[in-house]
Structure 1
Amino acid sequence: MYMESVITVGALARQVSTLLGEYFSRVWVKGEISNFTRAASGHWYFTIKDDQAAVKAVMFRGRASMVSFTPVVGEKVELLAAASLYEPRGDFQLQVEAMRRAGVGNLHEAFLQRKQKLQDEGLFDPERKKAIPSMPRKLGVITSLGAAALRDVLTAVERRLPHVEVIIYPALVQGDAAAASLCKALETAVQRNEVDTLLLVRGGGSLEDLWCFNDEALARLIAAAPIPIISGVGHETDFTIADFVADLRAPTPTAAAELAGHSQAQCLQQLQGLLSALQHRQGRILERAWLRLDRTRAGLISPEQKLRQQQQRLEALQHRLQQRVHTQLEAHRWRITKLHKQLQQATPEVEWQQRLLATLENRLVQHMPAELKRQQQRVTALQQTLQALSPMHVLERGYAIVRNEAGQIVKNALDLSNKEQLDIQLAQGSLQAEVKQTRVLF
């Protein structure tokens, strides 16, 4: 009889939990919030539902603290979650890792595509970013007149840079018309060209709230602006296209104002340091000048002593000159003596040379006829040898020289073919013949 295997409820729950973890470890789920509860521990417990189903969800405090809004019942959201099973009760639930308002996913995808496009064009390259002046005279602020970010910036400027004038270029920072308004404010600031640095600021918000700072036209205006621009949009975790293309990104509007230049205290401290260094350097210069003056005074001598030194130097030079003249005269005398001896040795003995020449001439005259006769006999012998070896001399004895059509001398009858033309040279003249038959003598 076949026995089916039986497992415990706990084993079944563990297997189901394992399967859920394997197949639904990270999945985006869209639905409506209901039964939302924030526990004292900071964890969020709620239900995500739609028209067809409802699933319990939990978002632990660490993850929940990273969400930029607090969800309310009835709000549609998108969750990045892992499906799991709470084994003690057998409840199916979602462990949420991230949450965003519904529709933000499309905006985020559009943000990534636009960011990649502008990055490929080089608008984010560090090489094209301008340096921020450390001591500006005027700061420009592009934001809404009623924004809390403006108050934060003005407070920071008053505290750190009270000597710097602030010019505000009003613009909308949220809504459908915000992007065009920001572009117009930036164009106005560039056209007026009255500030050293521009601050583009806004407080925190959702991705939809900050969407105007992701506008492509605004990004291109920021990149082309000749004035250095600091962006301070949202909180530290918020990033927009304007942050990437600006010359400097600040995590908050207040930080943007703080990065716009050295504070007054820093400037005074730096100035005091420069004054101290200047005083120290001046003291060192004076010390070196006094030292040179003392050394110069110590080196001064009276005119009488100077003349005495010059007289001693002149006498020494005269003595050296006399010694040198004497040395050169001795050297010239020795050279003249040497040349005189060489001249005497090189003088020829004319009479002896004439007697030797007469003797050689007599010997030449005596030997010339005999040598001439010997050379004539040698020429005659060579002529006879040449005549004996001449081919023409052989031809005189009845022989002939046979050449083929190529002008080569024929030595073997087998090298010829019938009807081949031959050139035959005799002792007296030549003739042409044609081969009719060849024979070989063995």
Structure 2
Amino acid sequence: MAPVAQPALAPRIWQVGALCRAIADSLEARFNPVAVRGEVSGLSRPSSGHLYFSLKDAQGQIRCAMFRRAATLLEFVPREGEMVEVWGRLGVYEARGDLQLIVETMTRAGQGALFEQFLRLKARLEAEGLFDEGRKRVPRALPRGIGLVTSPGAAALHDVVTALRRRARHVPVVLAPAAVQGAGAPAELIRALESLYRLAGEGAIDTILLVRGGGSIEDLWAFNDEQLARAIVRSPVPLVSGVGHETDFTIADFCADVRAPTPTAAAELAARPREDWLADLQAMHERLHRIVQRRVDHAQLRLDQAGSRLGRPLARLSAQQMLLDRCGHRLHHAMHLRLERDGARLQSVQQRIKSALRLRLDLGAQLLDRQRLRMELLDPRLVLRRGYALLSDEAGHPVTSVGQTHPGQQLRAALADGEVDLTVRPPSLL
């Protein structure tokens, strides 16, 4: 009997999604995070803000996705065919089973070390507060003068001067020349700024522009100098930076009071157009004219109203004279009535006073008569007529007691019809 063949061990059967997740886990454990250099290909920028592209070289390519959060932090705009270096994480897009790289950061190829140095300096200066929005100032809309720091041979100088001549030719511009590229550029830029700071202290300028045209990160590296950053922060007046193109960012941009995307935009931010000021003046003139006209119209209306109330002066005066006459007659009549009333009251008071005086006089006469009768009754002469006498000594003192006399004493006796002198004799003995 022939031997029975044993079936071979069957391989594990995967679900498609589970296999994709297993592959993704293997990639995560083996490669991530990963840095890749390649050429941008098939770049797509949908309205969502994400970036979709492939990185390729002569041997292969890999699909990439950069989500909006990371894309907004880019310091440049990627272009088709540009060599870049990216950092991110490998994964599997399970819906299609595609291998893809989720990009977190991106720099132009060859600039990775400089970019990392830029990020470290940016983080340190930001921690020190050099980028704080609270210390930043807004340039004056009507500057007395503008200081300009750039290279005399740079295209940025022509762009700025052209923009200022077009917008505010009345504002003087002071150029402080300096190299904007190379090893010695930061020191020259600082010296140029310091010279403008002295002019600002004298009141000659009140806005400073620091500008140069676009270029690679190496070309713009002078504006990532730490000492230049600290010099910018020391500016006594608002400082506007316009370095590179709109997608270029430097440390100088973060330290400046205002960051402009281009040198021309920096000039436009530093001075409001002359036409705008003239338009404002015309608007103010028209507004003042309307206000004055309204006040004149209002005053004319009040004058007309007053004139209508006043009418003809002679008629008004005649009416007032008639009113005055009536008031005079009424006052005269009222005073006459008052005098008559007061006269009648006075006569009544006089009559009452006369009656009261007459009564008091009668009563006084009666009282006087009674008093006179009483006095007459008390008259000592009446007593003397009844045979009595009033004795007094030589000094005129009345003698009312025998004890006041002595023999031989001279006395005077007052009788009813005269006086007689008397001599006191001793009492006779019976």
What is the TM-score when the length of structure 1 is the normalising length?
0.57
Structure 1 residues 224 and 307, CA gap change in structure 2 (3 angstroms): farther
Partner of 1:99: 106
Distance 2:327 2:28 in 1: 109
| SS of residue matched to 2:208 | strand
Partner of 2:303: 293
What's the CA shift string for 1:308-366, capped at 9, x where partnerless?
Answer: 6377458649968997996xx99xx9xxxxxxxxxxxxxxxxxxxxxxxxxxxxxxxxx
Distance 2:321 2:247 in 1: 86
1:21-420 alignment, distance < 5 Å: 23=29, 27-29=33-35, 33=37, 36=39, 38-39=41-42, 43-47=53-57, 56-59=61-64, 67-68=76-77, 78-84=85-91, 94-100=101-107, 101-103=111-113, 104-119=115-130, 124-126=132-134, 128-193=135-200, 194-298=204-308, 299=310, 302=313, 305-306=316-317, 309=320, 312=323, 316=327
What's the CA shift string for 1:36-63, capped at 9, x where partnerless?
Answer: 4745879443259xxxxx9854446999
Contact 1:20–1:85 under 8 Å retained in 2: no
Distance 2:26 2:323 in 1: 113
Amino acid at match of 2:289: Q
Distance 1:320 1:249 in 2: 89
Distance 2:27 2:66 in 1: 21
Unaligned 5+ residue runs, structure 1? 49-53, 334-442
Percent of residue pairs bearing the same amino acid type: 36
Partner of 1:19: 25
What is the TM-score when the length of structure 2 is the normalising length?
0.58
Unaligned 5+ residue runs, structure 2? 1-5, 45-51, 346-430
Amino acid at match of 1:171: A
Distance 1:129 1:88 in 2: 49
Amino acid at match of 1:17: I
Structure 1 residues 47 and 309, CA gap change in structure 2 (3 angstroms): same
Structure 1 residues 159 and 20, CA gap change in structure 2 (3 angstroms): farther
User: 1:182, CA displacement in angstroms?
Assistant: 1.5
Alignment RMSD (CA, Å): 4.6
| SS of residue matched to 1:259 | helix
2:13 to 7, 10, 18: 7
Rg (Cα) greater in structure: 2
Distance 1:199 1:317 in 2: 87
Distance 1:87 1:308 in 2: 108
User: 1:190, CA displacement in angstroms?
Assistant: 1.7
Partner of 2:382: none
Structure 1 residues 20 and 173, CA gap change in structure 2 (3 angstroms): farther
